[in-house]
């Protein structure tokens, strides 16, 4: 019986870690030094003024309310009251990404078009026990705001953020660091690092890998700007 319980725990851990394995952009050791977006696009960000971040969350994405450790779904979100999960994750993306692009003050007005393919946070069952990974995947296209002609992309971007479980999750929430607050901070910081404009230096994809000390708002790394509502 003890052996069965041990094997079950191992299988559960493997299943939860798979939350970050559904995407080709930032996976594997070869990606440890690669940026999330091509360097030539990042360099051009100094010319841009992002006038709007346009979010597309396709209706065909499946949102699950199942309280399992790891629902098989495109959208898993619990940090808002029960409702339209597509609209809720769209609002999170809009707020987090938009905050991370306000520093771009170039002469060329552009849109950032975002098409979501996956937004997988934690269920209650996972959050109150073992935790996991917040996994977000979307396509980014930079569009000229005057002509509506695409300039760059689409580029697929995958973000992974360690998701707390058990006592650590309760402690984070006690300090106001809910899942939403942490994800907003992660989205904002990633945009500022990947599109530095004339300011912040580039940051490699390894800085947003859960396997490489993912962002922790309780002890933010040097140079990372925390966003707390």
DSSP code per residue over 206-222: GGG-GGGT---TTSPPT
Q: What is the pLDDT of residue 112?
A: 97
Tokens of 125: 């069952």
Task: Report d(CA 218, CA 229) in Å as an integer.
Answer: 15
Q: Which fold has domain 2-212?
A: Rossmann fold (3.40.50)
Asked if residue 37 lies in contact with residue 138, where contact means CB atoms within 8 angstroms, the answer is no
Q: What is the pLDDT of residue 18?
A: 41
The CA-to-CA distance between both ends of the chain, in Å, stands at 47
pLDDT, tens digit, 9 for 90 and up, residues 172-199: 878 888 999 999 999 999 999 999 988 6
- Kindly calculate the radius of gyration of the chain based on its CA atoms and give it in whole angstroms: 18
For the chain, helix (H) and strand (E) counts, in that order, are 6, 5
pLDDT, tens digit, 9 for 90 and up, residues 102-113: 999 999 999 999
How far is residue 195 from each of residues 48, 50, 142, 173, 201, measured CA to CA in Å?
Answer: 10, 11, 12, 30, 9
Show me where the domains of the chain are located: 2-212
Helical residues (DSSP H) of 62-121, grouped into ranges = 85-99
How far is residue 34 from each of residues 118, 191, 208, 218, measured CA to CA in Å?
Answer: 21, 15, 11, 27
Beta partners for residue 118, in sequence order: 137
Q: What is the pLDDT of residue 27?
A: 39
From the centroid of its chain, how far is CA 193?
Answer: 13
DSSP E strands in the chain: the ranges are 48-56, 75-76, 108-120, 132-144, 150-163
Beta partners for residue 133, in sequence order: 162
DSSP code per residue over 154-184: EEEEEEEEEE--HHHHHHHHHTT--HHHHHH
Residue identified by tokens 């959208």 is: 75
Task: Report d(CA 224, CA 229) in Å as an integer.
Answer: 16
**Would you call 9 helix, strand, or coil by DSSP?**
helix
Q: What are phi and psi of 181, to 5 degrees?
A: -60, -45
pLDDT string in tens for the chain (229-residue length) = 444 444 444 444 444 444 433 433 333 333 334 578 888 889 999 999 999 999 999 999 999 999 998 889 999 999 999 999 999 999 999 999 999 999 999 999 999 999 999 999 999 888 888 888 899 999 999 999 999 999 998 999 999 999 888 888 888 878 888 999 999 999 999 999 999 988 655 444 333 333 333 334 333 333 333 333 2
């Amino acid at each position: 019986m003890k052996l069965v319980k041990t094997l079950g725990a191992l299988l559960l851990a493997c299943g939860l870690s798979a939350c970050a394995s559904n995407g080709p952009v930032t996976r594997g050791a070869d990606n440890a030094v690669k940026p999330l977006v091509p360097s030539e696009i990042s360099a051009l960000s100094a010319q841009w003024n992002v006038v709007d971040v346009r979010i597309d969350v396709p209706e065909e994405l499946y949102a699950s309310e199942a309280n399992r450790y790891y629902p098989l779904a495109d959208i898993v979100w619990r940090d808002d009251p029960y409702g339209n999960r597509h609209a809720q994750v769209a609002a999170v993306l809009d707020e987090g990404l938009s905050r991370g692009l306000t520093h771009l003050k170039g002469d060329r007005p552009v849109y950032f078009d975002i098409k979501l393919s996956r937004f997988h946070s934690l269920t209650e069952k996972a959050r109150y026990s073992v935790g996991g990974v917040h996994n977000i995947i979307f396509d980014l296209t930079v569009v000229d705001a005057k002509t509506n002609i695409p300039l760059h992309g689409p580029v697929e971007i995958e973000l992974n953020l360690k998701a707390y479980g058990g006592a650590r999750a309760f402690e984070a929430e006690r300090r106001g660091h809910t899942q939403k607050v942490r994800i907003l901070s992660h989205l904002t910081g990633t945009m500022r690092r990947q599109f530095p404009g004339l300011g912040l230096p580039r940051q490699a994809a390894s800085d947003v890998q859960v396997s490489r000390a993912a962002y922790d708002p309780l002890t933010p790394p040097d140079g990372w700007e925390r966003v707390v509502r």
